[in-house]
Chain A
Amino acid sequence: MSNQEILAQTALEVLGDKALSSHSPYGLLTVEVPAEGIVETVRSLVEHPVLRMGFLTDLCAVHYPDDPGREIAVVYHLHSLPNNFRLRLKAFLPIANPAIDTMTPLFSAANWMERETYDFYGVQFTGHPDLRRILNVDHMDYFPLRKEYALEDETRDDKDDRFFGR
């Protein structure tokens, strides 16, 4: 068993029944965790004496409109620099109330990443110190990366999706 496999097993043990499902696409352990208590879940990985997943590489969201009740996925990429072990956590939220606790108490880096995620997907990060739009204008009244917003103007008929994209 390689070092990475042992660490992956340890991570799953630490997560325990928080790990709703897991698989390893392209060698990166991906675990679905409940949105409730996400901070405590991540803290258990950060403060684990062996794992020490103390680096938040990335935080973003994905929109799955065809999955009722779990339309918004918030994706965390964690990295354990001492072990060189990466882990991806996913928490699914309903689009009616996309609220999840902020990761800012653990990582200062999460501040702008969460603002960006809010800006594009409307995820409400509970307890965030300054949850405002960051890249788009403040008076924008929709969340542009959600799938219902087509990139092209829908009234145009000179562009056919079969030839010019999705």
Chain B
Amino acid sequence: MTTPDTQKQGQAPLVAHDSIDGEIAILNLGPTHPATHGVFQNVLKVDGERILEAEPTIGYIHRAFEKLAERRPYNQITPITDRLNYCSSPINNMGWHMTVEKLAGIELPKRVEYMRVIIMELSRIADHLICNSVIGVDTGALTGFTYMFQERELIYEMFEEVCGARLTTNIGRVGGFERDFSDAFKQKLDTFLKGFPARFEEFDGMLARNRIFMDRVIKAGPISAERALNYGFTGPNLRAAGVDYDVRVMNPYSSYEDFEFDIPIGQDGDTFDRFVVRQQEIRESLKIIRQALDNMPAGKHFTDVPDFYLPPKDEVYRSMEALIYHFKIVMGETPIPAGEVYHAVEGGNGELGFYLISDGGRTPYRLHFRRPCFIYYQAYPEMIKGSMLSDAVLTMSSMNVIAGELDA
């Protein structure tokens, strides 16, 4: 049995006690493993606890969304987008609505855009809370996870108040929202904004400056800014590496230019930086929600696009015109121009892009999802090469790889 020449690969040399007689083992991490938080597999080549090579295999929950989308009318594609990054479905839904609106040239009232911003930032908080509390779990700190899941529950209750669903929300429509924010929603949001920051800071205090946690996550799974850009990183993972690219600022959509907020960046691109960047983004999201609430313009919660926006149900029963529009929308007979459009939103994990080609037919000719997870997860073997197995688990959870988005 020969010892692998890891020095040739530019890695730290193996120390004698790492290796049991230089024996190389193959370890399957996943497809169903508690530490992978989703269905995907990593075949690890390990020497003792040190990782020599990793080979990710994905596609376990591939559902052919792009093929499905070529047969579905535009409003029936929204539920597909739910199932991409299911930790922040509303952002996917809104991104899709905005793509169709861009293609059809629909202008929205400011009120709708502000309402969308509130929903999107709430889901960003939910998304980051899951990721960061799971980093805690993977370091052995389960407490924060249980507390933060209660907060996430409050956010889901708000989604339920707006659209009736919690996880796969299918929230809003092309042209606006089904209904205005209810008093119950406003009440819940108010309670959340009063209570959440204190409990969140408690969670932050428990981990962010905790010596044990810091020792555990600093320098775990780092990536340089240059490599991160080359690997197509976006979102918190790219910002943790020190690049201040955020779609909300660079290509503002849905009136994000109206809000004052900062883009937190890290330095080393390691697990600690990713954790801290997400923590700070939660605070920035709260700032955006408060501003949107304070400056909420008056007006309607939808715009006048009868071709896309379902008429109120009672009118469908009484008015011929409403019945016709209702029938046409439900049957997918919406007039849509031919053209191609790329629209990107800042999803929970980074730039979520929709590349849509329409030939004027009732369904898209081609729809491609730019899924941030899929693109940055390929850097994983490089990030964990030469590190310990337990760091590999941490790196994966801090990258926030969501199987639904990975496989589409």
Contacts and interface: CB of A to CB of B under 8 A. Distances in A.
Nearest to A77: B342
Interface string B62-73: 101011101111
Interface in B2-45: none
Contacts of A28: 341-342
B366 A62 contact: yes
Interface stretch (A5-13, A37-45, A81-89): A81-89
Interface of A: 25-26, 28, 30, 54-58, 60, 62-63, 75, 77, 81, 84, 86, 88, 107-109, 111-113, 116, 120, 133-137, 144-145, 149, 151-152, 163-166
Contacts of A145: 66-67
Interface in B293-336: 331-332
B86 interface: no
B154 interface: no
B95 to A, nearest CB: 14
Contacts of B339: 25-26
Given A77-B355, A84-B250, A166-B70, 19 more contacts: A26-B103, A26-B340, A28-B341, A57-B232, A58-B342, A58-B355, A58-B368, A60-B355, A81-B229, A88-B342, A108-B379, A112-B377, A112-B378, A116-B374, A134-B59, A145-B67, A151-B67, A165-B73, A166-B363
B59 to A, nearest CB: 4
The 4 A-B residue pairs with the shortest CB-CB distance, nearest first, are A109-B232, A165-B71, A135-B59, A135-B62
Interface in B44-78: 58-59, 62, 64, 66-68, 70-73
Given A77-B342, A108-B227, A165 B363 contact: yes
B256 to A, nearest CB: 14
A108 B382 CA distance: 11
A108 B378 contact: yes
B67 A144 contact: yes
A31 B361 CA distance: 24
11 contacts: A25-B339, A55-B229, A57-B351, A77-B370, A108-B378, A109-B231, A109-B232, A109-B378, A133-B59, A135-B408, A151-B70
A144 B64 contact: yes
Contacts of B366: 62-63
Contact of B341 (A26, A75, A107, A113): A26
A63 B374 CA distance: 22
Contacts of B351: 57
B219 interface: no
B231 A108 contact: yes
A54 B227 CA distance: 12
Nearest to A58: B370
B370 A57 contact: yes
Contacts of B357: 62
B353 interface: yes
A24 B211 CA distance: 53
A151 B342 contact: no
A107 B375 CA distance: 11
B166 interface: no
B58 to A, nearest CB: 7
B124 to A, nearest CB: 21
B269 to A, nearest CB: 15
Contacts of B378: 108-109, 111-112
Nearest to A107: B230
A86 B353 CA distance: 13
B245 interface: yes
B232 A135 contact: no
